[in-house]
Chain A
Amino acid sequence: MKTMTGLDFDAINQGQTLPSLTKHVTVEQIRQYADASGDRNPIHLDETFARSAGLPSVIAHGMLTMAFANQMVTDWLGDRSLLKRLQGRFAGMVLPGDEVTCSGSVASKDSDARRVVINLVVTNQRGERVFNKGVAEAEFPPQRSDTDAA
């Protein structure tokens, strides 16, 4: 069964690479994320406060980086409802002006359960990992047999 954008479970192969996703993070986007999420911790919004807390500048919310990783996977799946699990470690700070790239590959595929596990990482423009040990798992709908379809 294909999802709306046509990702075919049967055509997924272990080791396959997902299309990468690159995002340019700005002060404006961090503010917009703070408003949309409710997380207005001043380390994300107030330059003076962030520096007094020992940070180089305001920093992006870790969950913004995780949202990018989420998008890379669901863009590939073509259907947000297939994602069943997402996890990872915030390994480095993301600062305004950074360009982060999400990449991933299919770690395993279970044809009986119709599930795939994807390993993920997000790196910045210097190649440093800002999100690692990322794992996503998706479950595809049961395949309709010929009898069901008849």
Chain B
Amino acid sequence: MTDPRWVGRSYETPPFQVTEQSIRDYMAAVGDLREDGELIAPPTYAMVYGFDAYWQLWSDQEVALDVAHLVHGEQRFTFERPVRPGDRVTTTGRLTAINNRGDMDLVTFELSARDDKDQPVSNGTALFIIRKP
């Protein structure tokens, strides 16, 4: 069981340097290859620049999420501006809810991504479902 006392714990990524290569690798991986002229990352690239925050949560030995039984239940994003090569983005993720429900735990993680001028880039909310083995 995930302990609800960890609600409020937060994790910050190091600044993520967005490169053309990183955007193109992501576009190739998901098969979204259309070019708009100017190179703009697909909005769901938010998962790439923010990934380290998720990783820190999943590998936090104190919170000890059972990642082998973790599935991504829901995801929400709002996008404040397009992301381009040259951007430096820092994402902060915060545990905002841990609910123990019968044979599963529901964990809510809210993320806020900002650029190096401290302007908003995107916001995210992930709901993880951890099934009890």
Which residues of A come within 8 Å of B, CB atoms?
A: 4, 23, 29, 32-33, 35-39, 41-43, 49, 52-54, 61-64, 66-68, 70-71, 74-75, 78-81, 83-90
Contact = CB atoms under 8 A, between A and B. Distances in A.
B35 to A, nearest CB: 10
A85 B77 contact: yes
A38 B48 contact: yes
Contacts of A62: 71-72, 75
B44 A84 contact: no
Contacts of A70: 32, 42-44
A90 B36 contact: no
B5 interface: no
B71 A36 contact: no
Nearest to A33: B29
Given A4-B37, A63-B47, A85-B78, 17 more contacts: A32-B29, A36-B25, A36-B26, A37-B26, A37-B47, A38-B51, A53-B69, A54-B133, A70-B43, A75-B34, A79-B36, A80-B42, A80-B82, A85-B76, A86-B44, A87-B76, A90-B73
Contacts of A37: 26, 29, 47-48, 51
B6 interface: no
B29 A29 contact: yes
A75 B40 CA distance: 13
